[in-house]
Structure 1
Amino acid sequence: MKKTANEDLVREHHPEAIEQRLKQAPKSQNISDAVLGGIDGCVTTFAVVSGAVGAGFSSSVAIVLGFANLFADGFSMAISNYESIKAQQEFTEDIRRSEENHIDEIPEGEKEEIRQIFQRKGFNGKILEEIVETISQDRHLWVETMLTEEHGIQKTTPNPWKSAITTFAAFLIVGAMPLIPFLIPVLDMQQQFVLSTCFAAIMFFSIGMLKSLVFAKPVLISGLRTLLTGGTAAGIAFLTGYLLREIFGIG
């Protein structure tokens, strides 16, 4: 097994394979959008359900509140994600225009910035000057180097629409799971809540496992950590609903 993995690694680092890989544009990853949307969706709806049960409300109230929050919060979260990425893109473009203007107005000053950037990386003498000349002869490379090295801006920017849709879809799909038991009329409120708790726990643990597999982290620890986060939020909501019911005498 290890030998096969090593062979695959060697094959991936063959000069032709590297050339083909570098020709492709970097792919943006939306796994973080899906994880964030899924966790927030499940926390939101299960917290609403827990609060409703803690307050002694009926199943119909839990359903109405749950689905209202599901769609409203899911839409809000998707729009917020879209606006955040869009703002980052606009910021990047503004910095790019500024660097292009600096190259036109004070090219020697920009060359000095390139020189000092690579000098701090350990280059000196003739090699350093060759690097400066090579980069400054290609305007696009010059600007991109300044964006990355001076401003710390990553080359790969997520698509705002794709990120928003991924967040919204994950929010709805995962967030709807704790609400399903309340749509089963043959169960009483206690049974619905227990089943909802089980569904939510499965969702939290599954998202944690998915995250661990993608980022090569311990599966059990990641699943339990996500489960603990969601469970804590739901517990706070339940306790809040119960206390308010007792304080205000909600029947």
Structure 2
Amino acid sequence: MSKELEHSHHPEAIRRRLAAPPSPSYLRDSILGGIDGCVTTIAVVASVAGAGLPGVVAFVLGLSSLVADGFSMAVSNYQAVKSDHDARARLRAQEDRHIRLDPGGEREEIRQIFRSKGFDGEVLEQIVETLTADERLWIDTMIREEHGLALQGPSPLKAGAATFAMFLLVGATPLLPFLIPLLQGQAYFLASAVAAAVALFGIGWAKGRVLGMARLRAGLETLLMGGGAAVVAFVIGVFLEPMLAELRL
């Protein structure tokens, strides 16, 4: 039995879909922020637990780390996405200058690009003439074909905001148990670990759902990667615990 297609291939539906402006996805930014936020927080909590420090220390350090690291990561992602925009703008200006100074050479580049795709003879020359008749289309083609870049990308501000929001939202999950007064001692850390595991698995599950991947596998992969970071942090805390014990004496 054939599967239902994701969209219609009726000529009118195709025309409307291709005419619509591209809609950039911020899924990568959200997933990156969510995973890193949760891992950052649970790593702090695990290191404090390994060192045998009180739960309030884990909460204070985890909260401060969450806000500071979240802002830092959002700014870094903003700059990374903006650098892609700047690269496109630089290449567009470069191609515009090359077309004005050496139009024959730029036409030959178009010719060789489409010859490598299997076009030849009169058809190839018609493609070259059509593309080079419109300067914007000419430059767009060079951006995509010669430099391998998309013509548009996500908004740097929205990418940074998505990263920051998910970093805080998911990263706060391991800290929530420390606000429950009924928990005592190591129960705080155990509840925090469970909350982090659920959050990490949930992010992977959501990623699998959106991307059409096996949801269970995507959830477990994310959980294992994040859990590995927590284990490393816990071991480091255990290793440093004797040093902290000496300081408390």
Q: TM-score, normalised by structure 1?
A: 0.95
Question: What is the aligned length?
Answer: 247
The amino acid of 2:45's aligned partner reads: V
Q: Which residue of 2 aligns with 1:209?
A: 205
Q: 1:70 aligns with which of 66, 73, 76?
A: 66
Q: Deviations over 1:6-43 (max 9, x none)?
A: 5x75xx11111111111111110001111000000000
CA contact (8 A) 2:51 2:244 kept: no
Give the whole-Å Cα distance in 2 for the aligned partners of 1:172 and 1:189. 25
Q: 1:141 aligns with which of 137, 153, 166?
A: 137
Greater Cα offset, 225-234 or 241-250: 241-250
Correspondence 1:56 to 2:52: yes
Q: Which runs of 4+ in 1 moved over 6 A?
A: none
Give the whole-Å Cα distance in 1 for the aligned partners of 2:133 and 2:44. 60
Query: CA-atom RMSD, angstroms?
Result: 1.4
Correspondence 1:179 to 2:175: yes
Structure 1 SS opposite 2:172: helix
Q: TM-score, normalised by structure 2?
A: 0.96
List alignment gaps of at least 5 residues for structure 2. none
What is the CA-CA distance between 1:217 and the residue it aligns to? Answer: 1.2
Q: Which residue of 1 aligns with 2:28?
A: 32
Give the whole-Å Cα distance in 2 for the aligned partners of 1:60 and 1:235. 20
Q: Which residue of 2 aligns with 1:79?
A: 75
What is the CA-CA distance between 1:137 and the residue it aligns to? Answer: 0.2
Q: Give the percent of matched residue pairs that are identical in Structure 1 and Structure 2.
A: 49
CA contact (8 A) 2:34 2:163 kept: yes
The amino acid of 1:170's aligned partner reads: M
Structure 2 SS opposite 1:249: helix
Q: Deviations over 1:95-137 (max 9, x none)?
A: 0000001111100000000000000000000000000000000
Q: Deviations over 1:138-157 (max 9, x none)?
A: 11100000000000011230
Give the whole-Å Cα distance in 2 for the aligned partners of 1:160 and 1:39. 20
Correspondence 1:116 to 2:112: yes
Q: Deviations over 1:150-196 (max 9, x none)?
A: 00011230101111111000000000000011112221121111111
The amino acid of 2:159's aligned partner reads: S
Give the whole-Å Cα distance in 1 for the aligned partners of 2:205 and 2:109. 45
Q: Deviations over 1:200-250 (max 9, x none)?
A: 010111111111111111111111111100111000001101110124535
Give the whole-Å Cα distance in 2 for the aligned partners of 1:91 and 1:31. 22
Q: Deviations over 1:37-78 (max 9, x none)?
A: 000000000000000111111111111100000000000000
